[in-house]
Chain A
Amino acid sequence: EPEVTQTPSHQVTQMGQEVILRCVPISNHLYFYWYRQILGQKVEFLVSFYNNEISEKSEIFDDQFSVERPDGSNFTLKIRSTKLEDSAMYFCASSAGTTNTGELFFGEGSRLTVL
């Protein structure tokens, strides 16, 4: 069964360092997403990506964040200068279709710890 894969599963970094989280969405899916979940809190939307551009982004997704689909298979989330409050589980997701139907397929997440 096709699945969304994420790497790394866990990354520890120092405050101020750049981090890149990688995702391989399901191959025929067109919509890609990043969500995050701070420990004990709700799953929060960061950004959606369609047709090689950002479709929607939340207030959390400020200038420190960027997304890219560099090679037609990977979908990356970059945090330029990490802060302590960026520590969270980051989930990548993808969906089929040309509109966001809410039926998302999630990866297992990348846990980011900022020290």
Chain B
Amino acid sequence: AQSVTQLGSHVSVSEGALVLLRCNYSSSVPPYLFWYVQYPNQGLQLLLKYTSAATLVKGINGFEAEFKKSETSFHLTKPSAHMSDAAEYFCAVIQNSGNTPLVFGKGTRLSVIA
């Protein structure tokens, strides 16, 4: 069975600083990996996805993530944090064979300090 582990339930950065949210996955078969974002009082929204094409994936709002098989990681980064990036971020995994549930990590709350 596949799973993801997000390191750090809360990350705080200054506005303009690098954002790094960590995610490690466990999967017995090649995975598809995702980052979802949840802004306050809203549903989850797809930020980006990895589906075995390019290992560096670019998403919305300047975020990107790199799939590293050797490290079983899919960390989310953004060069310069903005106040509007404050939200809960969820890493998620699914088997690439499809028809299996999307499994989420526990989430990381990102705070951006002015």
A102: contacting residue among B42, B102, B106, CB under 8 A: B102
Cα of A45 to Cα of B105 in the assembled complex, Å: 11
Cα of A44 to Cα of B104 in the assembled complex, Å: 7
Give the segment of B19-27, B43-51, B68-76, B78-86 that binds chain A: B43-51
Contacts of A32 in B (CB 8 A): none
Interface status of B67 (Cβ within 8 A of chain A): no
Chain B residues within 8 Å of chain A by Cβ, number = 23
Contacts of B45 in A (CB 8 A): 106
Interface status of A56 (Cβ within 8 A of chain B): yes
Cα of A60 to Cα of B96 in the assembled complex, Å: 24
Cα of A45 to Cα of B36 in the assembled complex, Å: 15
Contacts of A107 in B (CB 8 A): 43
CB distance from B94 to the nearest CB of A (A): 4
* A interface residue count range (under 10 / 10 to 19 / 20 to 34 / 35 or more): 20 to 34
Q: Is B101 a contact partner of A45 (Cβ separation < 8 A)? A: yes
Chain B CB within 10 Å, residue with most, of A43, A58, A99, A108: A43
A107-B43, A108-B41, A108-B43 in contact; A41/B99 too (CB < 8 A)?
no
A→B interface (CB under 8 Å) = 4, 33, 35, 41-45, 48, 55-56, 58, 91, 93, 99-109
B→A interface (CB under 8 Å) = 32, 34, 36, 41-46, 49, 90, 92, 94, 98-107
List 26 A–B pairs whose Cβ atoms lie within 8 Å, in order of A's numbering.
A4-B43, A33-B101, A35-B104, A41-B106, A42-B105, A42-B106, A43-B90, A43-B104, A44-B104, A45-B103, A56-B101, A58-B101, A91-B44, A93-B43, A99-B98, A101-B32, A101-B98, A102-B92, A103-B34, A103-B49, A104-B44, A106-B36, A106-B43, A107-B43, A108-B41, A109-B43
